[in-house]
Each structure stands twice: as structure tokens, then as C-alpha cells.
């Protein structure tokens, strides 16, 4: 069997790291927050399947059931090996994301509703889907056209202190960036604006450690519905949760204007350089 080229590759080691991150992340969240994360992965991915799926890319029901079974397998690597096999077979990454993972998420949700999968089962399955999405992210982002000088700065839902993020938006505008400021919005309101937007980067600001559950939920949701967008975290929450923010899949953290500038340049430079 020929060795697959880079376009047909799935990084099993990266999947294992992302999967472990999600497991550790759950230790820092209350049960209702874990339920929210699992629900975000399952419901948003299955919903987006209807929006984005091409009719000719739909896998058959047996393939979806097999992938769902692998996601719930007692063997942690089963789902990753299944995805690696699909990639080696030549399944396009967009089809894998929208058709296969979207279908498996819908199957997982149906089993949850029918009580044939427990809360623990669904959490495990959702965490593995999320780990796969994080692993596929670079391939999903390949060829994505972005407005390279366009940023979004947003306060995490429930935040009352928005002066810092507002000042940051003004300062980056002064640096020549096109910045959209999003404050005072709900979780759904933010996602409605960001899920199909072509910002090069979104900066999320939170000032309280108690906002971490909301921050984690927002990052997971953005990763599902807009995987190629870079995410930068700022605010005093960085001091409170410096060690656990990376577990969410965020791309970077900053704590002052200088570090924000460095991180924005770092995260957008590869895309700008590719133009």
C-alpha cells in the first residue's frame, strides 16, 4: 500500500495530545460546564453538517455508525485510527469534517437522546471529536481566504469590565488594523457574528477566573464552527488560568499591549506571508 502524502495524513501523536488536553480540562470544570462543552461539540457539528455538506460527499449509514462506535470505544486510539484510515483512503479533509464527523456527532446525539449512550459516553465521544478537529485544523485552514488585516476583539459573555478590550481595539486600529469590537453579547450572539466571519484572529477577553467555564465553552464552539480562525486570550484571566487555557485549544495568551502585538503578529504572520 502506498504511503499517503501530506494531504492524506492524520497526525496520531497530535490527536493524542489534544485528547489528553480535553481530559485534563474536565478536571478544572464543574459538571454542568462539561455538559455544555459536550453539547456544543455534538449539536453544532451535526447542525453545521446540514449547512455545509455537499450531496455527493455523504457517507453511508454504516460508515457513520462505525465511526460513532469508534468514538465510544474503550480503546482511546480507535477513533483516531478510523480517521487515519479514511485520510489514507483519500477522503478530503472537508468531507471528513462535515460529512463523517458531522454524521458521527448526529449519531452520538441520537444515542444520547435515546438513552443508549450515557453522559459519560457522550462526553468521551465529544472529547475525541474535538481532539480530531484540533488535529485536522491546519488542513482545514489550508486555502482559507482571510482579510489579513482584520481582527475581532470580544468580551466573554457575562463580563462587565470591557474597558481593557475597548482600549485594545482602539490601539490596534491605531496600528493599522481593521478591528471589530464585540462587547455585551451573549454566547449565541457572539457565535452568530464569528462562526462564518473571515477575521484573521479573534481576541477574547475575560477579567475573572470565574469566567473560565464561559471562555472554554466559547473557544470550543468557535473551534467547531470556524476552525481556521486564530484565537488569542487576554485579560486578568490569563494570570488566574495560565496553565489551563492552553488545554482549550486557544492559540495564544497575552497580558499587556506589547505581548498582544507580538502574539497577533505571530499568529497572523504565516497567513500574511503565504499571500
**pTM as predicted:** 0.89
**Claim to verify: residue 85 and residue 124 sit in the same structural domain:** yes
- Residues of the chain above pLDDT 90, percent: 67
**Claim to verify: residue 10 and residue 132 sit in the same structural domain:** yes
Q: Among 109, 124, 141, give the residue marking a domain's end.
A: 141
- pLDDT band per the 50, 70, 90 thresholds, residue 1: very low
Flag whether pLDDT at 228 surpasses 90: no
**Claim to verify: residue 136 and residue 152 sit in the same structural domain:** no
**Claim to verify: residue 114 and residue 159 sit in the same structural domain:** no
Q: Domain containing 24: what range?
A: 6-141
Domain count, the chain: 2
Give the pLDDT of residue 161.
84
Q: Among 113, 141, 169, give the residue marking a domain's end.
A: 141
What is the SS3 assignment for the chain? CCCCCHHHCCCHHHHHHHHHHHHHHHCCCCHHHHHHHHHHHHHHHHHHHHHHCCHHHCCCHHHHHHHHHHHCCCCCCHHHHHHHHHHHCCCCHHHHHHHHHHHHHHHHHHHHHCCCCCHHHHHHHHHHHHHHHHHHHHHHHCCCCCEEEEEEEEECCCCCCCHHHHHHHHHHHHCCCEEEEECCCCHHHHHHHHCCCCEEEEEEECCCHHHHHHHHHHHHHHHHHCCCCEEEEECCHHHHCCCCHHHHCCCEECCCHHHHHHHHHHHHHHHHHHC
More confident residue, 242 or 6: 242
**Claim to verify: residue 134 and residue 178 sit in the same structural domain:** no
**Claim to verify: residue 109 and residue 73 sit in the same structural domain:** yes
**Claim to verify: residue 125 and residue 154 sit in the same structural domain:** no
Give the dihedral sign, CA 225/229/234/240. Answer: positive
Please, are residues 150 and 199 in contact by the beta-carbon 8 Å criterion? yes
Give the pLDDT of residue 196.
81
**Claim to verify: residue 38 and residue 161 sit in the same structural domain:** no
Residue 237 domain-assigned?
yes
- pLDDT band per the 50, 70, 90 thresholds, residue 60: confident
Q: Find, among 213, 211, 179, the residue nearest to 197 by Cα.
A: 179
Flag whether pLDDT at 117 surpasses 50: yes
Any idea which of 12-21, 49-58, 59-68, 82-91 has the lowest mean pLDDT? 49-58
Residue 187 domain-assigned?
yes
**Claim to verify: residue 13 and residue 122 sit in the same structural domain:** yes
Residue 1 domain-assigned?
no
Residue 178 domain-assigned?
yes
Give the pLDDT of residue 137.
86
**Claim to verify: residue 165 and residue 122 sit in the same structural domain:** no
- pLDDT band per the 50, 70, 90 thresholds, residue 92: confident
Q: What is the CA 118 to chain-centroid distance, rounded?
A: 24
Stretch 88-114: mean pLDDT: 91
Q: Among 141, 162, 196, give the residue marking a domain's end.
A: 141
Say which CATH number the domain at 211 has. Answer: 3.40.50.280
Amino acid at each position: 500500500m502506498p504511503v499517503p502524502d501530506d494531504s492524506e495524513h492524520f497526525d496520531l501523536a497530535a490527536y493524542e495530545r489534544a485528547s489528553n488536553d480535553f481530559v485534563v480540562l474536565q478536571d478544572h470544570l464543574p459538571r454542568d460546564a462539561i455538559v455544555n462543552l459536550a453539547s456544543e461539540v455534538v449539536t453544532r457539528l451535526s447542525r453545521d453538517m446540514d449547512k455545509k455538506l455537499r450531496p455527493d460527499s455523504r457517507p453511508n449509514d454504516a460508515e457513520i455508525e462505525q465511526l460513532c462506535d469508534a468514538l465510544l470505544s474503550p480503546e482511546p486510539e480507535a477513533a483516531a485510527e478510523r480517521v487515519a484510515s479514511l485520510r489514507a483512503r483519500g477522503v478530503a479533509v472537508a468531507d471528513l469534517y462535515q460529512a463523517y464527523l458531522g454524521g458521527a456527532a448526529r449519531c452520538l446525539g441520537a444515542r444520547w437522546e435515546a438513552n443508549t449512550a450515557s453522559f459519560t459516553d457522550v462526553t468521551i465521544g465529544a472529547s475525541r471529536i474535538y481532539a480530531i478537529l484540533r488535529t485536522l485544523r491546519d488542513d482545514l485552514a489550508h486555502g482559507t481566504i482571510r482579510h489579513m488585516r482584520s481582527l475581532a476583539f470580544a468580551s466573554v459573555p457575562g463580563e462587565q469590565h470591557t474597558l481593557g478590550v475597548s482600549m485594545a481595539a482602539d490601539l490596534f486600529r491605531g496600528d493599522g488594523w481593521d478591528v471589530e469590537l464585540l462587547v455585551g453579547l451573549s454566547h449565541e450572539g457572539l457565535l452568530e457574528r464569528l462562526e462564518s466571519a473571515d477575521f484573521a484572529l479573534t481576541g477574547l477577553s475575560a477579567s475573572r477566573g470565574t469566567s473560565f467555564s464561559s471562555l472554554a465553552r466559547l473557544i470550543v464552539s468557535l473551534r467547531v464552527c470556524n476552525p481556521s480562525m486564530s484565537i488569542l486570550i487576554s485579560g486578568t484571566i490569563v494570570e488566574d488560568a495560565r496553565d489551563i487555557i492552553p488545554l482549550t485549544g486557544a492559540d495564544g495568551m497575552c497580558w499587556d499591549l506589547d505581548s498582544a502585538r507580538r502574539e497577533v503578529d505571530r499568529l497572523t504572520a504565516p497567513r500574511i506571508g503565504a499571500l
